[in-house]
Chain A
Amino acid sequence: AQTVTQSQPEMSVQEAETVTLSCTYDTSENNYYLFWYKQPPSRQMILVIRQEAYKQQNATENRFSVNFQKAAKSFSLKISDSQLGDTAMYFCAFSPNYGGSQGNLIFGKGTKLSVKP
């Protein structure tokens, strides 16, 4: 069975600092997609970044980047220059490569990130 594990239930970081959220997953698939979603207090689920497993290059989106280690089945999220608006729950998610659709997402239990002024 495919599983996603986020070992840090809560983290905090000072504004403007850098923070890394951990995620590991377990799968026997060779092709798949990995995602980080942000859920602010408004509850809206927002896609932050995605990574295709067949791509060796780590994905980046502005201040957000990932460290994808396929052999180790690790997919961490780095947030640089943290801002107060980054305060949210962050979910790591896995999708089998059924053509790349995110429909059948498997989520981790989330990491609550607090950015302190």
Chain B
Amino acid sequence: DTAVSQTPKYLVTQMGNDKSIKCEQNLGHDTMYWYKQDSKKFLKIMFSYNNKELIINETVPNRFSPKSPDKAHLNLHINSLELGDSAVYFCASSQHAPGQATNEKLFFGSGTQLSVL
């Protein structure tokens, strides 16, 4: 069984559209994250939620809105898509939030490749 699963794996859409990427983890973890990997392979954190509460919010346009209906899910909704949003988006999870425990492991999903035309 996949520990962290995100859908879809590939998403091709037109500029200006609104799209969502879903993420689910079956590990019983408290914390989930969204990372963005750009065309140069640079991976950067976007958001983190702990027990459905936002704890990390890096400088990300307001068009990106994470939603956590429960601690096993963290979806990413993107409004008014732009060409620069094309990237691979990774969901991840960990048992605890940053600062709560040592010896943590981060589990990544397999990524969603978003292409904005």
Contact = CB atoms under 8 A, between A and B. Distances in A.
A in complex with B: yes
B31 to A, nearest CB: 6
Contacts of B31: 101, 103
Contacts of B99: 98-99, 101
B98 A47 contact: no
Nearest to A46: B108
B82 to A, nearest CB: 22
A11 interface: no
Nearest to B38: A109
B48 A103 contact: yes
A91 B41 CA distance: 9
A104 B57 CA distance: 10
A44 B96 contact: no
B16 to A, nearest CB: 27
A98 B98 CA distance: 5
Contacts of B102: 99-101
A89 B96 CA distance: 27
Nearest to A103: B98
Contact of A101 (B40, B97, B108): B97
A107 B42 contact: yes
A45 B94 CA distance: 14
A6 B96 CA distance: 29
23 contacts: A43-B88, A43-B110, A43-B113, A45-B111, A47-B105, A89-B41, A98-B98, A98-B99, A99-B100, A99-B101, A99-B104, A100-B102, A100-B103, A101-B31, A101-B96, A101-B100, A101-B102, A103-B33, A104-B98, A109-B40, A109-B41, A109-B42, A110-B41
